[in-house]
């Protein structure tokens, strides 16, 4: 298979996934019996103690349908939805922060989430794999078993317990970090960056620890199996050093499934975002999603879900494109 064909196939698949994801996002809420505009008008009507005339209601309905892309039959709505989302990244205004456009809200929150989650996911992966590699490569030695025990101890702790324990431990019992962190908005200055990093340390630690245990266990198992391979034995008999064998022989082979795992966990970054950002009041997409969900802010939810679909699909695409560089058996079929 040629390189161009390979890339074309992956990119084609990527757009197909995006299209299907967006379509589901569009149709699913529309199959719900409740209409958000009815709800909104009902709310207004009760606030105005039923004083709204039916003409005023009709006008209001018309305006709202226009604003939120609910005008016309399902197909017209669908086409205009795709047109707005795909071509203009426009999800309409937020209900809660009217008339702030949803795209603004999300674009403001996105860098926070991406920076925190990507950094911690990659760091947790790298640290876990390093420890797992050493534990697996030296699996016959007692000291290496200790490293594995670290993984076994951390892995089964549910994330929310881990996060809350860290908050209690490092913000309450030993108050190194603030209990209610503040994250400055607006222009970035050096002192602000320091404040942001300082306030992000606790959520970052929780996220790194959460990924750490699993990566240790998984990499350890892979590394143990790889050290039994004939090419590692042969490398040993060639007289290569432990370092060469551990890195170039065991790690290069054992990391391949781990890269897939990394891609999958990067794709689910937004799941992690939800819980972390609520627990640590971190101003990212997760916090916005929660506020939107509890406030019935459909447009914001649409936007956040769309962004997470794009993120998951993009992570998959990136890994598909990187994988052949790591595994020549895929590159040269």
Partner 1 sequence: MIRLNNLVAAYRTGRGSINAVDGVDIEIPDRCILGVAGESGCGKSTLMKVLYGDVLSPMSLASGSIEYGFNDDQNKPVTSDTIQKQWFKRISYVPQSSMSSLNPVVKIGKQFVDFPGHEPNKRKVMEQVKTYIGKLGLPVEILDSYPHQLSGGMRQRVMIALATFFQPELILADEPTTALDVVVQKEILLLLMELQEQMGNTIILVSHDMGVHYQITHRMLIMYAAKAVEYGESDSVFAAPLHPYTRMLISSLPTIGDESARNGIPGSPPSLWGELGGCRFAARCPLATDKCRAEEPPLVEHKPGHFAACHHAGSEIPAAGEPIWQ
Give contact residues for partner 1 (rule: CB under 8 A).
Answer: 229-231, 233-235, 237-241, 244, 248-249, 252-253, 256, 326-329, 332
Terminal Cα-to-Cα distance of the chain (whole angstroms): 7
* Pair 178, 200: CB distance under 8 Å: no
Least distance (Å) between residue 145 CB and partner 1: 17
The structure tokens listed for 161 are 């317990």
Least distance (Å) between residue 242 CB and partner 1: 10
CA-to-CA separations, 105 to 86, 155, 304, in angstroms, rounded:
17, 35, 10
* Pair 276, 282: CB distance under 8 Å: yes
Tell me how many degrees the CA angle 163-168-169 measures, rounded to the nearest 5. 95
Q: Please give the DSSP secondary-structure letter assigned to residue 86.
A: I
Tell me how many degrees the CA angle 260-263-265 measures, rounded to the nearest 5. 110
Least distance (Å) between residue 137 CB and partner 1: 15
Least distance (Å) between residue 217 CB and partner 1: 23
Least distance (Å) between residue 6 CB and partner 1: 17
The burial of 114, by beta-carbon neighbours within 10 Å (0-12 exposed, 13-18 middle, 19 or more buried), is given as middle
* Pair 302, 91: CB distance under 8 Å: yes
Place of tokens 């490569």: 137
Least distance (Å) between residue 328 CB and partner 1: 4
């Amino acid at each position: 298979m040629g390189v161009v064909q390979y890339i074309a196939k992956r990119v084609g698949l990527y757009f197909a996934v995006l299209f299907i994801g967006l379509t589901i996002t569009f149709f699913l809420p529309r199959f719900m019996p409740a209409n958000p505009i009815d709800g909104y008008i009902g709310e207004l009507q009760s606030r105005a103690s039923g004083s709204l005339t039916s003409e005023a209601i009709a006008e209001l309905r018309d305006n709202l349908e226009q604003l939120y892309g609910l005008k016309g039959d399902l197909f017209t709505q669908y086409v205009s939805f795709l047109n707005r989302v795909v071509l203009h990244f426009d999800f309409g205004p937020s209900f809660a922060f009217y008339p702030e456009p949803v795209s603004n809200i999300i674009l403001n929150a996105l860098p926070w989430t991406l920076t925190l989650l990507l950094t911690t996911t990659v760091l947790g992966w790298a640290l876990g794999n390093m420890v797992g590699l050493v534990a697996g490569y030296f699996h016959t030695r007692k000291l290496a078993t200790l490293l594995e025990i670290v993984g076994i101890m951390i892995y089964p702790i549910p994330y929310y317990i881990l996060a809350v324990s860290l908050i209690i431990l490092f913000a309450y019992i030993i108050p190194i970090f603030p209990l209610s962190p503040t994250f400055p908005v607006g222009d970035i200055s050096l002192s602000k960056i320091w404040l942001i990093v300082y306030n992000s340390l606790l959520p970052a630690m929780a996220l790194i620890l959460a990924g750490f245990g699993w990566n240790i266990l998984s990499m350890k198992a892979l590394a143990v199996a790889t050290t039994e391979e004939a090419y590692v034995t042969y490398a040993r008999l060639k007289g290569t050093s432990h370092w060469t064998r551990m890195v170039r022989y065991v790690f290069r082979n054992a990391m391949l499934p781990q890269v897939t795992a990394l891609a999958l966990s990067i794709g689910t970054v937004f799941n992690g975002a939800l819980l972390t950002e609520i627990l640590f009041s971190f101003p990212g997409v997760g916090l916005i999603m929660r506020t939107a969900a509890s406030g019935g802010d459909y447009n914001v939810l649409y936007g956040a879900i769309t962004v997470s679909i794009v993120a998951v699909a993009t992570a998959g695409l990136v890994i598909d494109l990187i994988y052949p560089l790591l595994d020549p058996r895929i590159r040269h079929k």
